[in-house]
């Protein structure tokens, strides 16, 4: 009888997992558009690096103040309706880019980014625990990794689509002062792609709403007010939340500031640079699935990732921005572009970062039992790191926004990688604060 139930459950899980996989792809597409949008708006609105970082801050800061309300909403309306509601808010955000582009008001772009971040937070809060709990606990890390590949694959595609639909008619605009007519044309090119994205998300919203997704039932009691306190009393979870916070900070720096740095270096196709970082992340996820736990433990993989991140950070900061040695060896022979070494090393950070998210989750949730759902919600809040990482990078870049200043600003990632290294070696093993 048990085997029959298990088999039926596995078969019935295929459709929900396929639907959730689609949502992860949409999350990745909408998220990693920021990597192209940030330098694009910097160019047409003539922003400083600090102002440009506010584009990311307004998107990721939503996690800080909507994660807990999102969890409350999902408790009331359920996971399935929470996913649909999150996508509906994302659809609304897509339409908000239209008046922002028409008026070229930076504040409206920031508001549209904020609303998109709120929708994403609601969707993330519903869909991440769904991935963990829709199948066997022992295979949860594998499912998270697969969803990560889909998310980052969308990150490879999004900048390419952005460039093809929005920037294809504006070659030769890098490094020169734009006329008001050129600025108007570039701004107006945003309108139809974002309307199309909003309509597509709207169709998916209805599909999710009327899909056969089963509802998950929380096994803990909603009235237990001390759950968060009890969960944070576990050092492996509390430190795990902080590890994810600094991780998302460096993930967003590597993925979303690379285009702005490329623009400062005079790279013509700056808007596709996020694709390089995401491609390296996809490779890292794939290797993680192949090697963990067959060859490497999660702890060992996390340790290697942190050490590699430290080495790459130092190489980026102290590398020669005039050198194209790496590109000449790996890209140019295959028809690629001769990109500066520090730029490509930022992309390789995607490889170093790939294992961190799927490795930290199971280590942080280990031994939580009935507090697992609360722990998941707290870990989601770690996404707020994406708001502050680029902000610190922007501050460190200096008001002039020179290429040299931006290159040196990547040093802000070093303490983040050092903390992840601490968590990999010791933090996840701690069972008491004493």
By C-alpha distance, which of 251, 351, 239 is closest to 301? 351
Q: What are phi and psi of 252, to 5 degrees?
A: -70, -35
Local confidence pLDDT in tens for the 434 residues of the chain: 333 333 444 445 677 788 888 888 888 898 888 888 888 898 889 888 889 899 999 998 887 788 778 878 888 888 889 899 999 999 999 999 999 999 999 999 999 999 999 999 888 888 877 776 776 665 666 677 788 788 888 888 999 998 888 877 766 666 567 788 888 888 899 999 999 999 999 998 998 888 877 776 655 544 455 788 888 889 999 999 999 999 999 999 999 999 999 999 989 888 899 999 999 998 988 888 888 778 888 889 999 999 999 999 999 999 999 999 999 999 999 888 899 999 999 999 999 998 898 889 888 988 887 787 678 778 878 888 988 999 999 999 987 778 999 999 999 999 999 999 999 999 999 888 87
Q: What is the C-alpha separation between 369 and 390, in angstroms, rounded?
A: 35
Cβ-contact 175, 86 below 8 angstroms: no
Q: Which two tokens stand for residue 122?
A: 């609601």
Q: For position 307, what pLDDT does the model report?
A: 97
Cβ-contact 387, 253 below 8 angstroms: no
Cβ-contact 309, 413 below 8 angstroms: yes
Report which DSSP code applies to 400: T
Q: What is the C-alpha separation between 209 and 211, in angstroms, rounded?
A: 6
Helix intervals (H) in 135-257: 140-162, 180-188, 191-209, 227-232, 235-256
Of the CATH numbers 1.20.1250.20, 1.10.760.10, 3.40.50.720, 2.50.20.10, which one belongs to the domain with range 9-213+226-429?
Answer: 1.20.1250.20
Q: For position 244, what pLDDT does the model report?
A: 95
Domain boundaries, the chain: 9-213+226-429
Q: What is the DSSP string of 257-308?
A: SHHHHHHHTT-TTGGGHHHHHHHHHHHHHHHHHHHTTTTS-HHHHHHHHHHH
Q: What is the C-alpha separation between 324 and 339, in angstroms, rounded?
A: 6
Q: Which two tokens stand for residue 376?
A: 């998941």
């Amino acid at each position: 009888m048990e085997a029959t139930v298990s088999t039926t459950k596995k078969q019935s899980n295929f459709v929900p997992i396929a639907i959730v996989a689609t949502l992860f792809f949409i999350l990745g597409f909408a998220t990693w558009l920021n990597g192209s949008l940030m330098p694009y708006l910097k160019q047409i609105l003539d922003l400083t690096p600090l102002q440009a970082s506010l584009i990311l801050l307004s998107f990721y800061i939503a996690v800080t103040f909507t994660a807990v309300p999102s969890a409350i909403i999902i408790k009331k309306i359920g996971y399935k309706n929470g996913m649909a509601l999150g996508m509906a808010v994302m659809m609304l955000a897509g339409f908000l880019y239209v008046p922002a582009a028409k008026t070229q008001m930076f504040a409206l772009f920031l508001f549209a980014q904020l609303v998109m971040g709120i929708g994403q937070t609601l969707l993330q809060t519903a869909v991440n625990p769904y991935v963990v709990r829709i199948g066997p606990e022992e295979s949860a890390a594998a499912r998270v990794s697969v969803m990560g590949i889909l998310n980052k694959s969308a990150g490879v595609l999004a900048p390419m689509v952005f460039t093809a639909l929005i920037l294809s008619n504006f070659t030769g605009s890098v490094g020169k002062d734009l006329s008001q007519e050129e600025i108007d044309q570039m701004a107006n090119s945003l309108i139809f792609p974002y309307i199309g994205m909003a309509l597509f998300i709207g169709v998916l919203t209805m599909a999710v709403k009327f899909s056969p997704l089963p509802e998950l039932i929380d096994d803990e009691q909603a009235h237990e007010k001390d759950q968060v306190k009890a969960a944070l009393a576990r050092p492996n979870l509390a430190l795990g939340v902080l590890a994810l916070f600094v991780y998302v900070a460096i993930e967003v720096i590597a993925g979303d500031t690379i285009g702005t740095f490329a623009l400062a270096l005079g790279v013509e196709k700056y808007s596709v640079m996020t694709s390089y970082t995401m491609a390296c992340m996809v490779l890292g996820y794939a290797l993680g699935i192949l090697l963990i736990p067959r060859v490497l433990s999660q702890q060992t993989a996390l340790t290697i990732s942190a050490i590699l991140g430290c080495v790459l950070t130092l190489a980026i900061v102290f590398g020669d921005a005039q050198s194209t040695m790496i590109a000449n060896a790996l890209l140019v022979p295959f028809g690629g572009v001769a990109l500066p070494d520090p730029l490509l090393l930022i992309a390789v950070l995607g490889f170093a970062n790939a294992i961190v998210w799927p490795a930290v989750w199971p280590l942080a949730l280990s031994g939580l039992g009935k507090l697992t759902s609360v722990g998941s919600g707290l870990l989601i809040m770690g996404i707020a790191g994406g708001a502050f990482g680029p902000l610190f990078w922007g501050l460190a870049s200096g008001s002039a926004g020179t290429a040299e200043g931006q290159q040196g600003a990547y040093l802000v990632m070093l303490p983040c990688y050092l903390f992840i290294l601490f968590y990999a070696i010791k933090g996840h093993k701690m069972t008491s604060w004493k």
